[in-house]
Structure 1
Amino acid sequence: MTSLERLAHSVLFPALGRPTVPRWIDGPVAEGLGGFVLFGKDIVSGPQLAGLTAALRERAPHLHLAIDEEGGDVTRLDHVGGVATPGNLALGRVDDVAATRDVAYQIGLSLRAVGVDWDLAPAVDTAVNPFSPNGVRCFGSDRAHVSKHAAAWIEGLQSAGVSACAKHFPGHGLSGTDAHLGTPSIDLPVAELVDHYLDPFRAAVAADVDSIMVSHPQVTALDDVPASISAPVITGLLREELGFDGVVITDALEMQGVASVAPLPEAAVRALRAGADALCLGAWSYGEDVRIAARSIVDAVHAGDLPLARLERAAERIARLGERRATRADAADPETGVRIARRAVEVHGSTRLRGDAVLVVRLEPVASPASGRGGAEIESVLADGGHTVESVRVAGDTYNGAGIVHAAISEFREEHGPRGDVVVLVRSPHRYAWQEPVLDRILATTPDVVVLDMGFVHRDFSEARGWVRTYGASRACVTAAAEVLVPA
């Protein structure tokens, strides 16, 4: 093994693939692999995760172990005993930077407890487009508002001794395209990009964020390729314009936003050449992809397509990640998230459930590939409180979904009469054309329902008997919603 091969491995961050230490990692770890990004499929319980990270570090203390723990809807730990928190949209709604800082600190403590030292969060995108798939992951639609909460979140997490990562540079939120599925477009003049659009990342740099994730939108005024492989974006905007000298990590290179433009061997080299330091390979990238990426990097250096000095600088920056130490010693407070989720809830009309039976009608969104398994569901919380709970779920591809919903509500009302309440649970329904006529029919034929809106706020539901907004669907938000539906 040569020093060049060790350098090539040091910038790679694949997934692990299973909740135990897999055999395939032995070779790459011995060759200096930078670390791993842990995903939901790697996590069974808190003790299991702590044991897994300890076993990995036993093999190689240098490994950096990263995770996507944004809190709120994008969580890996909520369902295994980690702290339950509202997400960014709810924090932005509360608009208390101390609360935002405290939530992030609690997340940091939760990550430290299971041996994770690098959190690929927060998302500091600005939801200027209500159809952005990242809407509920944003602090809001105003850049100044997002900037102050981004800085507070970073400060809170890093005060717990965990490195933060502001994402998704140069910022989703303008496009309605999901970078998992295609290449978003940022069609703005350079002056507007520099003077306004990048403000949340400017705030993150000022907050001394340890890393920034570059995603795959195409910045049309600067380049004709995704940002993750664009030198004008990474080196020009992020390094030179914003003065960032921390670790730049790519968003997953398996995502179609870049994979449709450059396959892994090419994307790995082009990302490094553009100024990235760490390559997130993706949730389904294991030993074979590691070998492919490492070989392409070595070959590119030999061919003169990638300067050795660029690779060495990337490795130096990654090595610095392990230097983050805790600066705050407050104890863990598992109730922090629920307290703040209660403050985010918005209530309209008559929302209190009147009987002892409830039908929950779920209009299911398309699950984001970024999301982990969620926490509690409103059905189980209501059932635990003594209600008889029935549920019906329909999605965009459900056969006769509108008919199913109408029939289920009608039959439930026939069965339970005035003792039966109907709760219609939606998450950003404006993003799914099929949901609008379903909701219109419900509100026209059965307005005596409570709408529980747990997504990005866009549609008005004042036609319903009652209407609750939680600004997220995490376990903390579910708890807060249940307290509104069934007050103590």
Structure 2
Amino acid sequence: MTELTRLAHGVLFPALGRRTVPRWARARVAAGLGGFVLFGKDIASPEQVRELTGALHGLRDHVLLSIDEEGGDVNRLENVGGTSVPGNHALGRLDDPALTREAAYQIGLSLVEAGVDWDLAPAVDVAVNPLSPNGIRTFGPDRALVARHAAAWVEGLQAAGVSACAKHFPGHGLSSTDAHLGTPAVDLSRQELVDHYLDPFRAAIAAGVDSIMVSHVHLTQLDDVPATISPAVLTGLLRDELGFDGVVITDALEMHGISDVASLPEAAVRAIAAGADALCLGAWAFGDDVDAAAGALVAAVEDGTLPEGRLREAVSRIAQLGTRPRATGTPHDDAVGERLAREVVEVRGDAALRGRRALVVRLDPTHSPAQGGASWGVEEPLRAAGVDVESLAVAGDTYNAEGMIKAEVGLYLDEFGADADVVLLVRSSHRFPWQRPVLDELLERHPGCVVVDMGVPGDDFGGFRGWVRTFGASRVCARAAVDVLLGAR
């Protein structure tokens, strides 16, 4: 193995793909692989994840293990020994940076327990577009609010000894495009970006954030390529203008936001050349993709396309991650998230169930790849509380969804009486045009329904008997909603 090969591997962060150390990973770690991004499919239990991270750390000194543990809707550990807290949108509604700092600290403690070094969070986009797919993951639509909570979140997480990562630079806030599916476009001048748009990242940098994730957003007035591979964005804005000298990691190179523009090997070379240090390859990137990216980087140095010094600089920066003193021996406190979820929940009208039986009709949103396998809803917590729950879940592509809902609700009320409890469960329903006609018909036919909205506020549910807003779909948010439904609040 040459020194150049070691440097090329050192900037790569693929997925793992198994719940034990796979054979392919051992050889690449020996070759100098920077580390891994753990995803939900790699995790089964608290004991398993600790065994896995211990085994990976044991392969070589300073194998960095990262994860997307944002809290709220995007988490990997909530149901396998991690803590549950309301997500960023709920924390922004509370608007108390001390509470945000406390929530992030608890996440940090849970990551220390799990053996994770680097959290690819927080998301500090500003959801000025109400149709933003990242809305629930942001602190809100106000730039100043997002900036102060970005700083608090970074401080809380890093106080536990885990490196933070502010994302998704330069910000998704104006676009409604999901970068997993296409390339978001933001049409702002450089001056507008510098004057206000980048403020949350300034705040994170001032708070000492260890890393920043660059997104696949296309800044149309600065370059003709996504930010991931743009020297004007990575070097011109982030390095020179904002003065950031920490680690810059790309968003996953398997996402259509960049893969529609450049293949993984080409994107790897262009991202490092533009100023990135670490390459997140994606949730389905394993040995072959590592070999392709490393080979492209080596070839680019050998043919003069990429200076070897750029790779050395990147590897040197990455070496600083995961070196903070860790808060070992301090278990996370699940009561923190439960308290915050109860504080943020909003109730209108008469939202308490009238009996111990309910039909829950869930309108599923379009699945977000970032969410992973995280579940949402109130059905199981209600059952655990002794409520006899029947349920129906439909999505935008469900055959005859409107007919199914009409028939099921009619059947249920005929069986148990016109005053029987029907709970409508939604999540940012204003983002999904198919849901509005469904809700309108239910309001007209069955205004006695109770609505539980676990997403970003948009639609008005004032015509229904009662409604509850949780501002997120984490486990503690579901429990807070169930407390309302059971009349415990």
Same amino acid, percent of matched pairs: 64
The residue type paired with residue 182 of structure 2 is G
Are 1:224 and 2:224 counterparts? Answer: yes
Q: Does the aligned pair in 2 maintain the 1:79–1:375 contact within 8 Å?
A: no
How far apart are residue 419 of structure 1 and its match? 5.7
The superposition leaves residues 240-296 of structure 1 with CA deviations (integer Å, 9 ceiling, x where unpaired) of 111000000000000000000000110000000000000000000000000000000
How many angstroms apart in 2 are the aligned matches of 1:373 and 1:219? 31
- Which stretches of structure 1, 4 residues or more, deviate above 2 A after TM superposition? 326-332, 372-377
How far apart are residue 51 of structure 1 and its match? 0.3
Question: Within 5 Å, which residues of 2 pair with 1:282-301?
Answer: 282-301=282-301
Are 1:261 and 2:261 counterparts? Answer: yes
The superposition leaves residues 395-453 of structure 1 with CA deviations (integer Å, 9 ceiling, x where unpaired) of 11111101111111111111111562011000111111111111111111111111100
> What SS is found at the alignment partner of 2:79?
helix
How far apart are residue 113 of structure 1 and its match? 0.4
How far apart are residue 331 of structure 1 and its match? 5.1
* TM value normalised by structure 1: 0.98
User: 1:332: which partner in 2?
Assistant: 332
Q: Does the aligned pair in 2 maintain the 1:159–1:328 contact within 8 Å?
A: no
User: 1:137: which partner in 2?
Assistant: 137
> What SS is found at the alignment partner of 1:171?
coil
How many angstroms apart in 2 are the aligned matches of 1:176 and 1:454? 19
User: 2:43: which partner in 1?
Assistant: 43
How far apart are residue 124 of structure 1 and its match? 0.3
How many angstroms apart in 1 are the aligned matches of 2:377 and 2:127? 26
Question: Within 5 Å, which residues of 2 pair with 1:304-453?
Answer: 304-326=304-326, 332-374=332-374, 377-418=377-418, 420-453=420-453
Q: Does the aligned pair in 2 maintain the 1:213–1:248 contact within 8 Å?
A: yes
Q: Does the aligned pair in 2 maintain the 1:429–1:435 contact within 8 Å?
A: yes
Question: Within 5 Å, which residues of 2 pair with 1:452-467?
Answer: 452-467=452-467
How far apart are residue 47 of structure 1 and its match? 0.8
How many angstroms apart in 1 are the aligned matches of 2:39 and 2:330? 28
User: 1:273: which partner in 2?
Assistant: 273
User: 1:20: which partner in 2?
Assistant: 20
Are 1:100 and 2:100 counterparts? Answer: yes
Q: Runs of 5+ in structure 2 lacking a partner?
A: none
How many angstroms apart in 1 are the aligned matches of 2:12 and 2:415? 58
Q: Root-mean-square deviation (CA), in Å? A: 1.2
How many angstroms apart in 2 are the aligned matches of 1:153 and 1:89? 13
How far apart are residue 458 of structure 1 and its match? 0.9
How many angstroms apart in 2 are the aligned matches of 1:257 and 1:268? 14
Q: Does the aligned pair in 1 maintain the 2:109–2:327 contact within 8 Å?
A: no
How many angstroms apart in 2 are the aligned matches of 1:162 and 1:401? 44
> What SS is found at the alignment partner of 1:456?
coil
How many angstroms apart in 1 are the aligned matches of 2:358 and 2:2? 65
How far apart are residue 59 of structure 1 and its match? 1.0
The residue type paired with residue 67 of structure 1 is I
Mean alpha-carbon deviation: is it higher for 56-65 or for 257-266?
A: 56-65
How far apart are residue 28 of structure 1 and its match? 0.7
User: 2:181: which partner in 1?
Assistant: 181
User: 1:245: which partner in 2?
Assistant: 245
> What SS is found at the alignment partner of 1:213?
strand
Q: Does the aligned pair in 1 maintain the 2:112–2:328 contact within 8 Å?
A: no
Structure 1 383/322 Cα, relative in aligned 2: closer, same or farther at 3 Å?
closer
Structure 1 172/149 Cα, relative in aligned 2: closer, same or farther at 3 Å?
same
How many angstroms apart in 1 are the aligned matches of 2:469 and 2:390? 22
User: 2:169: which partner in 1?
Assistant: 169
The residue type paired with residue 216 of structure 2 is H
Mean alpha-carbon deviation: is it higher for 352-361 or for 331-340?
A: 331-340
Q: Does the aligned pair in 2 maintain the 1:78–1:375 contact within 8 Å?
A: no
How far apart are residue 75 of structure 1 and its match? 0.6
How many angstroms apart in 1 are the aligned matches of 2:363 and 2:239? 43
How far apart are residue 380 of structure 1 and its match? 1.2
User: 1:205: which partner in 2?
Assistant: 205
How many angstroms apart in 2 are the aligned matches of 1:138 and 1:183? 19
The residue type paired with residue 157 of structure 2 is L
> What SS is found at the alignment partner of 1:249?
strand
> What SS is found at the alignment partner of 1:265?
helix
The residue type paired with residue 319 of structure 1 is A
Question: Within 5 Å, which residues of 2 pair with 1:70-81?
Answer: 70-81=70-81
The superposition leaves residues 129-167 of structure 1 with CA deviations (integer Å, 9 ceiling, x where unpaired) of 010000000000000000001100000000000000000
Structure 1 292/227 Cα, relative in aligned 2: closer, same or farther at 3 Å?
same
How many angstroms apart in 2 are the aligned matches of 1:55 and 1:155? 29
How many angstroms apart in 2 are the aligned matches of 1:326 and 1:56? 18
Q: Does the aligned pair in 2 maintain the 1:108–1:161 contact within 8 Å?
A: yes
How far apart are residue 76 of structure 1 and its match? 0.2
Mean alpha-carbon deviation: is it higher for 152-161 or for 437-446?
A: 437-446
> What SS is found at the alignment partner of 2:239?
helix
Aligned residues: 488
How many angstroms apart in 1 are the aligned matches of 2:322 and 2:413? 59
The residue type paired with residue 117 of structure 2 is D
Q: Does the aligned pair in 2 maintain the 1:357–1:419 contact within 8 Å?
A: no
How far apart are residue 190 of structure 1 and its match? 1.4
> What SS is found at the alignment partner of 2:471?
coil
How far apart are residue 372 of structure 1 and its match? 2.8
> What SS is found at the alignment partner of 1:339?
helix
